[in-house]
């Protein structure tokens, strides 16, 4: 669905490969939706939200599932029982209250598992100020963060390699970047937004973040009607916190998106008001931005707005835009009338402090009304569908290998290691450099550089040309035979002659 006055829409999200109609009377049979009550304040806010949905006549049918804390404690390390997946896959739409992830390394984040298993690649998080009814230092703020949801450091591939060093793999793929960036531009076009800002750290991570930035430039060129800009994430996040009004749609990688969407939600007024949609081509999940708030669980004071806004996003998604519109406008009226939960209550501005249940009752009482000062939302038909371009195979050539060693000889002198490797390397191999934590320490280097037990030793073919996998095996065999502890290797490739690896700092 596309909002008519898109500049004021904070809750609508788009659909992939689904029909969009502005009138949900076409939904003759109720749409099956999976519902998870979650942990902490989850059951209270879900109950409130379902009451509003029912009162508004939302054309939905619910299948309730158990996920989260109870499942973790039953021994399901991902917080979900295997048989529950069938329900999620069948219904394809999940309305989820927050869950509590138990502390400890044995537990996997259920959110990450659901997103990745169901291929929910786009996380869409609107952040909008509702001044003067909800305090915000940024009254003009009305932006959307579109976060890549599956890749980057959240691939969760971590290893301890030496007693001193652990690593995480940051995986960024061309189809993954293209899909989320195209989604952001399509979203901007569909929702009448004017600018997409890309945020990366490609001045440091030239290959991974550099890929995201370069695909952003490629895709942006195909949307001449939408302004495009790139900002380095650190200054971008600083500007977002200081002048959020200058942003419209922001598209970024997973970790940065996770952080800046929380900053955006917080400075808009309250994390308690923000909803979030996780969209894939086959399924979607809708939830509040906040967590399970164990500190106020059971007190009946939690703000159900975040989950309610997410539920309106879900209604748009399933084609019930008219119901979404009715609920969203009633919710805006409730805020406008000063009926506020404790997290947003302000003496002098708010009229009445209410608990979770009474807030829902106030929204229900306003169904059918439109706000007077806040701009009402309206939706009309439209849709978003993105398909990444197939990636052409390039001429890939092996030109060397980075061999990582756990080496802890007394003094940790890189020159001792360098001399040993020069002596040990079989014919045909040239030791190009040794780095420690990415900094070149051999040849050259300075004694001030701190060295750990983790050494990256770069070998290239003496000929300066390509080498073979068999040669790599011979090299590794020689290093092993010399008593060196090889912990991993990374092949150095060129792609159509273009270097596919970064240089060492100082190389
Ligand atoms: P939180 O968002 O639960 O709470 C932070 C603060 O905001 C607390 O003071 C809380 O009382 C308040 N708050 C949050 N939601 C509110 C609401 N609707 N109304 C009023 N006040 C609200 O964050 P946390 O304390 O860091 O995390 C608690 C638990 O939630 C953790 O186990 C965490 O893993 C989990 N969590 C789950 C999700 C999710 O399921 N999507 C997201 C974030 C955190």
In this predicted model, what pLDDT tens digit does every residue of 118-159 receive, in sequence order? 989 999 999 999 999 998 889 889 999 999 999 999 888 899
Q: How high is the pLDDT of residue 27?
A: 63
Residue nearest to atom 38 of ligand 1 (CA): 291
User: In angstroms, rounded to a whole number, what is the distance separating the alpha carbons of residues 67 and 60?
Assistant: 21
Q: How high is the pLDDT of residue 201?
A: 98
237 CA distance to ligand 1 middle (Å): 22
Q: Which atom belonging to ligand 1 lies closest to the Cα atom of 41? A: 18
Least confident of 27-31, 185-189, 332-336, 357-361: 27-31
Q: What are 61's two structure tokens?
A: 């049918």
User: In angstroms, rounded to a whole number, what is the distance separating the alpha carbons of residues 493 and 399?
Assistant: 6
Strand-pairing partners, residue 93, are 284
* Mean pLDDT, rounded, for 314-331: 93
* Candidate of 37, 45, 98, 103 to mutate for ligand 1, largest count of ligand atoms within 8 Å of Cβ: 98
The tens digit of pLDDT for each residue in 336-377 reads: 999 999 999 999 999 999 999 999 999 999 999 999 999 898
| Percentage of the residues of the chain whose pLDDT score is greater than 70 | 93
Domain residues of the chain, as ranges?
1-121+269-386, 137-265, 396-499
Q: Which long-range contacts (CB under 8 A, 24 or more apart) does 78-84 make?
A: 78/108, 78/110, 78/113, 79/107, 79/108, 79/110, 79/113, 80/110, 80/113, 80/114
306 CA distance to ligand 1 middle (Å): 11
Residue nearest to atom 8 of ligand 1 (CA): 293
Q: Are 405 and 165 in contact (CB under 8 A)?
A: no
CATH C-level class of 137-265: alpha beta
Q: Which residues contact 309 (CB under 8 A, 6 or more apart)?
A: 10, 11, 126, 273, 274, 275, 288, 328, 331
Q: Are 339 and 361 in contact (CB under 8 A)?
A: no
Least confident of 20-24, 63-67, 120-124, 146-150: 20-24
Angle, nearest 10°, between helix axes 321-336 and 356-365?
110
What is the reported pTM?
0.86
200 CA distance to ligand 1 middle (Å): 27
1-121+269-386 classified as CATH 3.40.190.290? no
270 CA distance to ligand 1 middle (Å): 12
396-499 classified as CATH 3.30.70.1570? yes
Q: Which protein residues are within 6 Å of ligand 1, measured from CB?
A: 41, 98-101, 111, 271-272, 287, 290-296, 302-303, 306, 343
Torsion of CA 449, 450, 451, 457, to 10 degrees: -30
Do the domains spanning 137-265 and 396-499 agree at the CATH topology level? no
């Amino acid at each position: 669905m596309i909002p008519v006055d898109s500049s004021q829409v904070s809750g609508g999200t788009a659909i992939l490969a689904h029909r969009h109609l502005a009138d949900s009377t076409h939904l003759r049979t109720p749409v099956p939706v999976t519902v998870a009550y979650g942990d902490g304040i989850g059951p209270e806010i879900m109950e409130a939200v379902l009451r509003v949905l029912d009162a508004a006549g939302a054309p939905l049918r619910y299948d309730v599932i158990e996920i989260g804390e109870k499942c973790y404690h039953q021994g399901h390390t991902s917080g979900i029982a295997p048989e529950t997946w069938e329900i999620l896959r069948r219904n394809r739409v999940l309305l989820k209250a927050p869950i509590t992830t138990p502390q400890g390394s044995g537990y996997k984040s259920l959110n990450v598992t659901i997103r990745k298993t169901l291929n929910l690649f786009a996380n869409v998080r609107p952040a909008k100020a509702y001044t003067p009814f909800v305090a915000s230092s940024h009254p003009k703020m009305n932006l959307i963060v579109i976060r890549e949801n599956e890749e980057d450091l959240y691939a969760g591939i971590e290893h301890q390699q030496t007693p001193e060093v652990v690593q995480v793999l940051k995986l960024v793929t061309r189809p993954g970047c293209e899909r989320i960036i195209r989604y952001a531009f399509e979203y901007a076009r569909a929702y009448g937004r004017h600018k997409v800002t890309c945020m990366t750290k490609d001045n440091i991570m030239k290959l991974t973040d550099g890929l995201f930035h370069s695909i952003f430039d490629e895709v942006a060129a195909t949307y001449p009607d939408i302004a495009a800009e790139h900002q380095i994430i650190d200054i971008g996040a600083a500007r977002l916190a200081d002048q959020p009004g200058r942003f419209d749609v922001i598209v970024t990688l997973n970790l940065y998106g996770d952080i800046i969407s929380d900053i955006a939600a917080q400075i808009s007024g309250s994390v308690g008001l923000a909803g979030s949609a996780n969209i894939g081509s086959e399924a979607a999940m809708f939830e509040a931005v906040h967590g399970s708030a164990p500190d106020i669980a059971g007190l009946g004071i939690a703000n159900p707005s975040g989950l309610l806004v997410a539920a309106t996003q879900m209604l748009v998604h399933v084609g019930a835009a008219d119901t979404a519109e009715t609920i969203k406008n009633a919710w805006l009226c409730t805020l406008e009338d000063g009926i506020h939960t404790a997290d947003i209550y302000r003496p002098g501005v708010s009229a009445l402090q209410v608990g979770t249940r009474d807030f829902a009752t106030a929204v229900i009482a306003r169904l059918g009304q439109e706000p007077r000062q806040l701009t009402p939302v309206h939706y009309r038909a439209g849709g978003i569908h993105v398909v990444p371009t197939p990636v052409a195979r390039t001429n890939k050539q092996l030109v060397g290998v980075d061999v990582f060693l756990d080496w802890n000889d007394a003094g940790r002198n890189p020159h001792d290691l360098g001399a040993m490797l020069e002596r040990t390397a079989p014919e045909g191999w040239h030791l190009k450099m040794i780095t420690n934590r990415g900094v070149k320490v051999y040849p050259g280097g300075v004694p001030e550089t701190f060295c750990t037990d983790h050494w990256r030793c770069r070998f290239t073919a003496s000929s300066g040309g390509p080498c073979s996998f068999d040669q790599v095996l011979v090299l590794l065999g020689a290093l092993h035979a010399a008593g060196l502890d090889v912990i991993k290797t990374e092949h150095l490739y060129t792609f159509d002659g273009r270097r596919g690896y970064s240089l060492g700092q100082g190389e």
